[in-house]
Amino acid sequence: MSDKTVCGCCEKTTVRSDEERTKLIHRLNRIEGQIRGIRKMVEKDAYCADILIQSAAVNAAVNAFNRELLASHIRGCVARDIRDGKDDVIDELVVTLQKLMK
């Protein structure tokens, strides 16, 4: 996992293995399907409590996605940058964690 400069600007990207990318995309596809299901429930005037339960399931799925991506980020990007003496990655991680914990 390495950062690379995109189009000469300072945006960071992460190179992922095909396996990791596929795993993350499958999780996102399931979440997308859950969201479509909730929309259909609303369109069909489903009972509020049933919709809320499905919404909670989506939140749990997004949290699981975030945990997996965060673990990968710490093990890969953050660890590499710290080894390379780029300690500013720690501040970036703290900001990211603060946003995730809102």
pLDDT, tens only, 42-78: 999 999 999 999 999 999 999 999 999 999 999 999 9
- CB neighbourhood size of 40 (10 A): 10
Condensed to tens digits (0 to 9), the pLDDT of residues 2-33 reads 444 344 445 788 989 999 999 999 999 999 99
Residues 89 and 81 sit within 8 Å (Cβ to Cβ):
yes
Q: What is the pLDDT of residue 70?
A: 97
**What DSSP designation does 101 have?**
T
Task: Find, among 78, 79, 80, 102, the residue nearest to 92 by Cα.
Answer: 78
pLDDT of residue 2: 47
